[in-house]
Structure 1
Amino acid sequence: MEQKRFKCVFTDLDKTLLASGSILTDYTKETIDMLISRGIDFVPSSGRAFNSLPKELLKIQGLKYAVTSNGVSVNEIKSGTPVSTMRIPETALRQIVKIAAEHKVCTEIFVNGQGYCTREYWNDPTIAGKNISERKIYVQATRIPLDNYDSFVMNNIANTEAFDLIANPDIASELEIELRRKFSGVYITHSENFLIEISNIDSGKHRGMERCCRILGITPKECIAFGDASNDMEMIQMAGLGIAVANATPECKSAADFVSEFTNNQDAVAKELRRIFSL
């Protein structure tokens, strides 16, 4: 009955589908291939911008779409073209940029599916906080460093798809509360305790899932969703079956219908899909 009910799988990437180090294991790749051969769509649903998605994942034959930048865009994988996308309202973003500068926190801007940052932050992400050292490899692999970053931000204020603030967890937590209080017209979430991710009010992975489902001609209740963090919770709740991996945050686990006994480093998504679909 489960096999007939579910027609699509949406899954977060970092700390969910991918093992530590952004690794897509052979076991998981084989599982995705088997799933697609059964006619089940598989949609990566990430806080990452499209150009930051793992190239190895994008090479899998049969993948059609990806939900990116926390639901800002739904991209056609073959061409990379956004089927739908949205931007942060200019007035709100100008104020957020000013607040970030006042608090002296690092930021990242996303335009046309690509992330940009200052060269200083790109060289050493720990300038944003002592607990962010593990982010260096990811930042250097996915961001373009700019010497004229502040000018770039101002020149693209009307074209910004997403904007991140990065700081020590205690500062980030307080700043997120402040931003939520001041801005009701933007979507604010986080996938890490040092990160504040801001986008259009109509984004969120759950909204991206809705738009992708309309393209595929199905409903969210015909989908399975996997995640590990706060930015996955709404997607997990909207899906017909929402699953949190074992290493998920307590909040994410509470939003799920089911919590896997496996972590992302134990191929949690692949193992649960093989169980559900008898692969």
Structure 2
Amino acid sequence: MLPYEKLRRFIMYKLLATDLDETLLSSDGTISQPNKLAIQQAMACGTKIVLATGRSIHNVQRILSSLDLADKPNEFVISYNGGLISENKGTYLLKQQAIAFPLAQQIFQLGVAHHLLIHVFTLNHLYTYQMTLEEEAYLSDRTGMLPLTEASIDHLEQDPIIKISFQHLDRSFLESIEHALDNSLKEQLDINYSSNRYIEFNAKGVHKGNALKTLATQLHINPTDIIAVGDNMNDRTMIDYAGKGIAVANAVPELKELANYITQSTHNEHALSEVIHRFILNPVT
């Protein structure tokens, strides 16, 4: 028996949900060895590890493989900011929530009007409009990207759109777009920010918190038995839902205000390893 398997009967937290970019992943897009080892030890204790990300499900597979979670039954991923909950085995879809197509068209045209780089996420592809070299470099590890050569998504009407995002390096500019939205439009959307470069649009009620609640209910896990870790405002709902909501040291100030623990380490300093050692392997009461 592995040493940490002896802790199974004493484990305080049954599920750890972690964001990927700027949380679990280092700036180079990899998982550090300390983080990887800590995750393996947490799983040996019986803690379920759930990746909760704004990425598409296809752009999580490499990370799942590195954690030995790919194609595993009874292991799960929350992707598209909660727009999809899937089991890793065969990428079985538990729940998918798309944006109504007329609403998706409105959002897309809003981005076009502001001359923004736009990402349109469907289940199988990430469509990009006005792609830049800087963004291509930032997304160099992503797959399934297809360029939109015209300012239209009419051809995607039969392809459920799960998320749309606009990219801009000025967060205040992205916030100004949200503030200028008609209330009738806002009422149909969940709007979030991530990576200090994206404003993200999902259907109303679609966010990581609700997805985590849905999954936890299916697994019969109480919120008090859950840790959620993140860095940006698309993580706030799962931070609120979890019994232990944690912001990494590099998180935006608004998220730190909501968290009940802030790591001393950044995502480049193995923050998730700190979380696992403090609250799972060597819990401090």
TM-score normalized by the length of structure 1: 0.88
Deviations 1:237-262 (A, max 9, x none): 11000111111111010010011111
The question of 1:254 aligning with 2:222 is answered no
Q: May I ask how many residue pairs the two structures share in their alignment? A: 267
Q: 1:76 to 1:7 in 2, by over 3 A?
A: same
Shift of 1:91: 2.4
Shift of 1:3: 5.0
Task: Find the counterpart in structure 2 of residue 162 from structure 1.
Answer: 163
Task: Find the counterpart in structure 1 of residue 117 from structure 2.
Answer: 106
Alignment partners' CA distance in 2, 1:65 and 1:138: 26
Q: 1:199 to 1:29 in 2, by over 3 A?
A: same
Q: 1:141 to 1:278 in 2, by over 3 A?
A: closer
| 2:272 partner letter | V
Task: Find the counterpart in structure 1 of residue 180 from structure 2.
Answer: 178
Alignment partners' CA distance in 2, 1:147 and 1:6: 44
Shift of 1:50: 0.8
Shift of 1:46: 0.6
What secondary structure sits across from 1:187 in the alignment? Answer: strand
Q: How does 1:51-200 map to 2 (within 5 A)?
A: 51-53=58-60, 55-62=62-69, 64-118=75-129, 121=131, 124-125=132-133, 133=134, 135-142=135-142, 143-146=144-147, 148=149, 150-151=151-152, 153-157=153-157, 159-169=160-170, 170-179=172-181, 181=183, 182-200=185-203
Alignment partners' CA distance in 2, 1:65 and 1:73: 10
The question of 1:29 aligning with 2:31 is answered no
Q: 1:228 to 1:144 in 2, by over 3 A?
A: same
Shift of 1:112: 0.8
Deviations 1:91-144 (A, max 9, x none): 2222222222221212111111531213x51xx34xxxxxxx3x4334243251
Identity %: 24
**Aligned residues of 1:106 and 1:167 also touching (Cα < 8 A):** yes
Q: 1:80 to 1:112 in 2, by over 3 A?
A: same
Alignment partners' CA distance in 2, 1:165 and 1:184: 19
Deviations 1:55-111 (A, max 9, x none): 043342356101101111112123223211110022222222222222121211111
**Aligned residues of 2:11 and 2:47 also touching (Cα < 8 A):** no
**Aligned residues of 1:225 and 1:239 also touching (Cα < 8 A):** yes
How big is the alpha-carbon RMSD for the aligned residues of Structure 1 and Structure 2?
Answer: 2.2
The question of 1:202 aligning with 2:213 is answered no
**Aligned residues of 1:3 and 1:276 also touching (Cα < 8 A):** no
Deviations 1:4-41 (A, max 9, x none): 33100001111111111111112211111111111110
Task: Find the counterpart in structure 2 of residue 128 from structure 1.
Answer: none
| 1:114 partner letter | H
Deviations 1:218-251 (A, max 9, x none): 1222100001111111111110001111111110
**Aligned residues of 1:117 and 1:149 also touching (Cα < 8 A):** no
TM-score normalized by the length of structure 2: 0.86
Alignment partners' CA distance in 1, 2:193 and 2:274: 26
| 2:76 partner letter | Y
